[in-house]
């Protein structure tokens, strides 16, 4: 028992001594590394975020996070109690803004929609009520009700909204109430708004309810064009609205022409000649049909008989040719602007195909080029993202780059702890590249001059004896090749082949771009050098320092002596034998001493 206890204590002592020796060696290596390379800093590579503060209880003894979001509101009606909706409370507590940004405020765009609806009521229905007998004493109160409702919208627009619109003066955004009101009163918009609300309705008492007296209401056209600009700015596919608006222009021209035709027919007398409207069927539909055939110059119309009819028809033909040609030209511009990107893509594709055919590029290569064009266009909507952003100021490009790429780059272990502004500068240097299936992103032995960030798709790292075994598959958000950005002295060669598994969108950061950025951030440069050296040492270190099953030792360990053979050797020693077993026992003792 005493011998076993002493052997156990000696084993513990040896283990502790070996641990101390290992710690001293590691400390010596760190001091040596610091003396050789002055850029190496302490082990605290990046500041550690302080733990979140403990939740402070409220004065009532309840944690702030446990408070209910809102109290339940109830109202009593008759004999029942109803729960009031929260939006009613928000509506009651809502305060109208003292100033409105006309460029970004969606509430103002919604208000402009109602103003434009009132303007369209006047523009479309004033000619109808003047020419056709649709306004009668029996329904006159309905027409007047909607008319004065539109006038109320015009008046609210002048008193509430237009006097609160912000404007820019000398580069400053003016939000002062008095200044905004004075700016509106001095504008051309105010003069037209006042003119469109002239109280010509007072003449109703003398001449009767004549819709032509409301014609000044159509002068509020500035609100219509402003609504178009604001709506196109918030729509994702504004060209659809432009096509609808251009079509509405054509329909309105035909609408006015149909009203004029009915007025001319009534002036000549309904059914008095073959040219005028005969008074049968739906008057508006029949006149609209005549206006379509006239303005589009289809032909097949009856010949005018009187001088008034001839002059009216000539003016119609001239107006129709001019209006129709203007509409066709505007429609062409709208469609051309909507398909400008598709036209550019098609021209690039045609030029590339013509170039490849001229130099007789193999058909397989041509097919891959065509596939790249098609996938890049359908996935990004453009061939080169930098062409879109080059017109923006540097600050706006940075904001877009942060929203698109910051979440991915900030997770790269190599850049954690670096200066935040350095990462922002690096985001602007990222370049998007599309790889086709089975394209080599990088090959083993190449000089690494860039780092790759997977935006979409997958890539496979190949290795093994044949170089075709899949070692690992990297997915979106993964990063590879980052050590090559800072490695030096031949340590920046690729160690494996990386192949795109399918279509892969990658961001590329080149080494020269990173070096240009690090000139302005020396502390981050030191940190990156240290991290790169540690990553290189970890990659070059054997996977299992204790020796694995495949390790080849210089002196293989001796096989354990069988128990029966050991018992025979012990008995020979006790008997003092000098035979073969005795010599073998003596030789075995020498080998044990040599191994020790």
The secondary structure of 1-30, three-state, reads CHHHHHHHHHHHHHHHHHHHHHHHHHHHHH
Answer yes or no: pTM beyond 0.75.
no
Angle between helices 307-338 and 340-358 (to 10 degrees): 60
CATH superfamily of 392-540: Jelly Rolls (2.60.120.10)
Place of tokens 């001088």: 307
Give me the pLDDT at residue 393, please: 81
Q: What DSSP designation does 172 have?
A: E
Q: How far apart are CA 182 and CA 180, in angstroms?
A: 6
Residues 6+ apart with CB under 8 A from 300: 293
Question: Please, where are the H alpha helices in 132-237?
Answer: 140-156, 177-185, 188-196, 204-207, 221-234
Give me the pLDDT at residue 198, please: 92
Give me the pLDDT at residue 56, please: 43
Residues 6+ apart with CB under 8 A from 94: none
Give me the pLDDT at residue 590, please: 67
> Positive or negative CA dihedral for 348, 350, 351, 355?
positive
Give me the pLDDT at residue 343, please: 85
- Cα torsion at 482, 488, 489, 490 (round to 10°)? 30
Q: Is 536 helix (H, G, I), strand (E, B) or coil?
A: helix
Residues 6+ apart with CB under 8 A from 331: 243, 246
Cβ atoms of 275 and 302 within 8 Å: the answer is yes
For the domain spanning 236-383, the CATH number is 1.10.287
Give me the pLDDT at residue 67, please: 43
Give me the pLDDT at residue 43, please: 44
Distance of CA 226 to the CA centre of its chain: 27
Give me the pLDDT at residue 546, please: 42
Place of tokens 């340590």: 491
Each residue of 510-562: pLDDT tens digit? Answer: 888 888 888 888 888 888 888 877 777 776 655 444 444 444 433 444 555 56
- Provide DSSP, 344-378: HHHHHHHHHHHHHHHTT--HHHHHHHHHHHHHHHH
Cβ atoms of 506 and 436 within 8 Å: the answer is no
Give me the pLDDT at residue 533, please: 77
- Interior CA angle at 407 toward 406 and 410, to 5°? 75
Regions of the chain with pLDDT less than 50: 38-71, 77-78, 82, 543-557
């Amino acid at each position: 028992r005493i011998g076993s206890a002493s052997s156990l204590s000696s084993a513990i002592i040896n283990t502790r001594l070996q641990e101390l020796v290992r710690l001293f060696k590691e400390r010596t290596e760190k001091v040596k590394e610091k003396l050789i390379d002055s850029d190496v800093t302490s082990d605290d590579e990046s500041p550690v975020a302080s733990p979140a503060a403990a939740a402070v209880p409220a004065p009532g003894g309840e944690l702030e996070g446990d408070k209910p979001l809102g109290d339940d509101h109830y109202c009593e009606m008759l004999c029942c109690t109803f729960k009031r909706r929260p939006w009613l409370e928000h509506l009651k507590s809502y305060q109208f803004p003292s100033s409105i940004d006309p460029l970004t405020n969606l509430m103002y765009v919604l208000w402009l929609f109602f103003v434009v609806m009132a303007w369209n009521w006047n523009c479309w229905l004033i000619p109808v009520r003047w020419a056709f007998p649709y306004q009668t004493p029996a329904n006159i109160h309905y027409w007047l009700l909607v008319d004065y409702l539109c006038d109320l919208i015009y008046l609210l627009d002048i008193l509430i909204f237009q006097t609160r619109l912000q404007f820019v003066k000398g580069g400053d955004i003016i939000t002062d109430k008095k200044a905004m009101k004075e700016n509106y009163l001095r504008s051309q918009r105010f003069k037209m708004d006042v003119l469109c609300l002239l109280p010509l309705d007072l003449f109703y008492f003398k001449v009767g309810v004549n819709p032509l007296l409301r014609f000044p209401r159509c002068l509020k056209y500035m609100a219509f064009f402003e609504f178009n600009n604001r709506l196109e700015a918030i729509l994702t596919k504004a060209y659809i609205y432009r096509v609808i608006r251009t079509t509405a222009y054509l329909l309105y021209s035909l609408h006015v022409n149909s009203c004029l035709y009915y007025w001319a027919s009534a002036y000549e007398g309904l059914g008095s000649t073959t040219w005028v409207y005969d008074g049968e069927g739906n008057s508006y539909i029949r006149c609209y049909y005549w206006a379509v055939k006239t303005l589009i110059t289809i032909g097949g119309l009856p010949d005018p008989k009187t001088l008034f009819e001839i002059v009216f028809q000539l003016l119609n033909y001239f107006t129709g040719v001019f209006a129709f040609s203007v509409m066709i030209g505007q429609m062409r511009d709208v469609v051309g602007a909507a398909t400008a990107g598709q036209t550019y893509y098609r021209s690039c594709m045609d030029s590339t195909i013509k170039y490849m055919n001229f130099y007789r590029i193999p058909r397989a290569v041509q097919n891959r080029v065509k596939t790249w064009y098609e996938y890049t266009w359908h996935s990004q909507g453009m061939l080169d993202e930098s062409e879109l952003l080059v017109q923006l100021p540097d600050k706006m490009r940075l904001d877009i780059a942060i929203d698109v790429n910051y979440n991915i780059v900030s997770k790269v272990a190599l850049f954690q702890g670096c200066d935040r502004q350095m990462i922002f500068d690096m985001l602007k240097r990222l370049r998007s590249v599309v790889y086709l299936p089975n394209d080599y992103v990088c090959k083993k032995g190449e000089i690494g001059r860039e780092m790759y960030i997977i935006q979409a798709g997958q890539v496979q790292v190949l290795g093994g004896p044949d170089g075709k075994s899949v070692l690992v598959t990297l997915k979106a958000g993964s990063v590879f090749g980052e050590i090559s950005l800072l490695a030096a002295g031949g340590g920046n060669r690729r160690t494996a082949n990386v192949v795109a598994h399918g279509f892969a969108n990658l961001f590329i950061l080149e080494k020269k771009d990173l070096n240009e950025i690090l000139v302005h951030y020396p502390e981050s440069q030191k940190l990156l050098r240290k991290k790169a050296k540690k990553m290189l040492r970890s990659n070059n270190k054997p996977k299992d320092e204790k020796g694995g099953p495949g390790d080849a030792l210089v002196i293989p360990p001796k096989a354990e002596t069988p128990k029966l053979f050991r018992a025979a050797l012990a008995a020979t020693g006790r008997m003092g034998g000098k035979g073969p077993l005795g010599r073998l026992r003596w030789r075995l003792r020498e080998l044990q001493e040599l191994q020790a």
